[in-house]
Structure 1
Amino acid sequence: MTPEEQKAFEDRIYAYVGVKVCERTAAKDAVNPAMIRHWAEAMGDTNPAYTDETWAANSRRGKTIAPPAMMYAWNQEGFTVTRGRASDPQTDMVELFNEYGFTGVLGTNVTQEYFKEVSPGDTLYLEMEIDSISERKATARGIGYFFETLATFSDQNGEKVGTQRFRVLKFIPQEQPTAATGDDKLEVPTRIPSPRGHDNGWWWQAVDEGKLLIQRCKRCQVLRHPPRPMCGECQSLEWDSIESGMEGEVISYTCLRHPAIPGYPKDPVCAVIKLAEGTNLVANIVGCDYDDVFIGMKLKGRIEQVDEKTTLPQFYPA
């Protein structure tokens, strides 16, 4: 794309900033106990405020509520989208990206903010706009642009229930390497390297040397992870570190099943691990199946070479 073509393209996509994707529209169904129950079962959420009417009747609210994170579910179109979506400014903008070769799409992050609880019988209304489009970015996926939509939710009385920002990367997919022929060798994919900067480079250097360190404030002795320049307790900039014994327990976990990521093991188990020293660490659990992992499971870690270029702390059942 020449500079002139890029400018013409950007003039067209930036014209979408601030455009309404949809006006305030009511969900097809009111908030109801059945959908709340399905959501809670799928999420494994046993909070009685959502599904236990007897418990809720004796609570301060006097009634059940919908999980706040369920906010976006009420206005979803459902199965009808399999037959195609109606044209709107967002789909038109996406088609414009595709027309210029930005056919790759990756949802990068979602931010929700909650202001009001809703209960069975309430109706949620949604209005959405294209809030921002970034400048041209060079990403690991390819050259592209981030765009962010802002969805605002309100109830039947017009009171704001919450907002959701959804950020998407539209990019030009990079060409994939072709199969090796003759004496050529196709490089084996490795894990995506972790960023190493001024504030965390020392930590990764220690991992490369076979040690798991935990940052410690010199003034108040509070431990912190991940590494950062200032103590969150006393705001001191002075710090040192201690070496972890790499013993801990699972406090949260998931399995990344799909899509498969080149350079990573099949179905890796990723967990938040509370170390015996008191700080939390995100790492892989290995040496057992996902179905064998449970909250509170005791773990013992060690620093291991996981591919040709990468050394990481990994944890095994104790």
Structure 2
Amino acid sequence: MSDEWGVRLKAYEGRPAAVAGVGKDPVNAPMIRHWCEAMGDTSPAYEGPDAVAPPTMLQVWTMAGLGHTGQTGHTGETGRTGRTEAYDELLALLDEAGCTSVVATDCEQEYLRPLYPGDEVTFDAVIESVSERKTTKLGTGYFVTTRMDVRVGAELAGTHRFRILKYKPAHQKPKSRRPRPVVNRDNAGFWDGVAQHRLLIQRCTGCGTLRHPWLPGCNACGCPDWDTVEASGEGSVYSYVVMHHPPFPAFTPSDHAADAAGPYAVGLIELAEGVRIVSNVIGVPYDKVRIGMPVQLEFHSYDDELVLPVFRAREAVS
């Protein structure tokens, strides 16, 4: 890539990325409920006759949904996203420059007006900036930032800035070690427990509420003090997805389905204690995993340093 690409890309700054987009659904109680259940948010502000939508759902109301067939235009079903030819041209130009891979890097949101069930959302977006050429561990490419203005009628409800990196992948020697979890001061106790083959759940000493993942304070009463209880290891599959990805050198085939090169199941496991944890479901083929399936905690050592909790289907427990 040469500086010529940067000049051509910069020319797209200020051009529209979406025009007259229309939310596929109005703000509605079922989607709010599903969001709150998935996030574990029990705030009373999000239910009842005076409910508002969680502010962090701002982008949700602008999404086109799965299976949509059109991206551009301004009328009809294919035009509901309002996506412009200028944005498509920018992405095509980046592809031409060899930046064929993409990763979302971050987003920023500003909330100006509550959204209520029944509100019809419209939106416009602009290509706010295209960075100079950057070299990252992933590869060399450009950061593209779009700013979306979300409205109800003529009233601005919020703004959503979304940043992606379009890059040419670096040619790196594959690492043999499995990726490490991010350990910080808030979750170090959890990983210390895992290293000892103990699954520890935080418990608020103020109200007794159990919580996972680990947090610096209680999301029920706000108390910063806590202790832990050890999970029994029994649970069931609350929900799951099947992951499909190309073979990755750090993952080697074994009895553990999460290590296999092919598809594997990632479950949201509801523990007997009432909290939920994301982990792999092992011991049965991925297409045999079912919601409600009983599972049992196991700890698997991947190398001299890394131990992870996984859950084996009880029908596969000997």
Output the TM-score relative to the length of structure 2.
Answer: 0.62
Q: CA deviation at 1:118?
A: 9.7
Paired with 1:137 and 1:234, the residues of 2 have a C-alpha distance of: 44
**Cα separation, partners in 2 of 1:96 and 1:267, compared to 1, 3 Å:** same
Q: 1:88 aligns with which of 78, 85, 100?
A: 85
**Counterpart amino acid of residue 172 in structure 1:** K
Q: 1:287 aligns with which of 275, 278, 283?
A: 283
Q: CA deviation at 1:91?
A: 3.4
Q: 2:178 aligns with which of 191, 207, 210?
A: 191
Confirm or deny: 8 A CA contact 1:116 1:160 kept in the other structure.
Answer: no
Output the TM-score relative to the length of structure 1.
Answer: 0.62
Whether 2:115 is the aligned partner of 1:105: answer no
Report what 1:251 is aligned to.
238
Max Rg structure: 1
Paired with 1:232 and 1:25, the residues of 2 have a C-alpha distance of: 35
Confirm or deny: 8 A CA contact 1:116 1:162 kept in the other structure.
Answer: no
Q: CA deviation at 1:174?
A: 1.6
Whether 2:224 is the aligned partner of 1:237: answer yes
Confirm or deny: 8 A CA contact 1:255 1:269 kept in the other structure.
Answer: yes
Deviation string, structure 1 residues 106-158 (Cα, Å, up to 9, x no partner)? 35689999766699xxxx98744225557987765235554344567889x98
Report what 1:172 is aligned to.
168
Q: 1:224 aligns with which of 211, 214, 233?
A: 211
Whether 2:16 is the aligned partner of 1:20: answer yes
**Cα separation, partners in 2 of 1:235 and 1:162, compared to 1, 3 Å:** closer
Paired with 1:21 and 1:75, the residues of 2 have a C-alpha distance of: 18
SS of the counterpart of 2:169? coil
**Cα separation, partners in 2 of 1:258 and 1:125, compared to 1, 3 Å:** same
Paired with 1:244 and 1:21, the residues of 2 have a C-alpha distance of: 48
**Counterpart amino acid of residue 94 in structure 1:** L
**Cα separation, partners in 2 of 1:239 and 1:158, compared to 1, 3 Å:** closer
Report what 1:50 is aligned to.
none
CA RMSD of aligned residues (A): 4.4
**Counterpart amino acid of residue 89 in structure 1:** A
> What does 1:207-218 correspond to in 2, within 5 Å?
207-218=194-205
Whether 2:295 is the aligned partner of 1:299: answer yes
Q: 2:70 aligns with which of 76, 83, 87?
A: 76
Q: CA deviation at 1:10?
A: 6.6
Deviation string, structure 1 residues 71-113 (Cα, Å, up to 9, x no partner)? 51567249xx9xxxx9933234335545665442235689999
Paired with 1:118 and 1:236, the residues of 2 have a C-alpha distance of: 35
**Counterpart amino acid of residue 289 in structure 1:** P
Gaps of 5+ in 1: 32-44, 46-67, 178-186
Q: CA deviation at 1:175?
A: 0.7
Gaps of 5+ in 2: 26-33, 35-59, 73-77, 252-259
**Counterpart amino acid of residue 64 in structure 2:** Y
Confirm or deny: 8 A CA contact 1:115 1:160 kept in the other structure.
Answer: no
Paired with 1:174 and 1:127, the residues of 2 have a C-alpha distance of: 34
Paired with 1:198 and 1:143, the residues of 2 have a C-alpha distance of: 32
Paired with 1:308 and 1:138, the residues of 2 have a C-alpha distance of: 33
Sequence identity percentage: 32
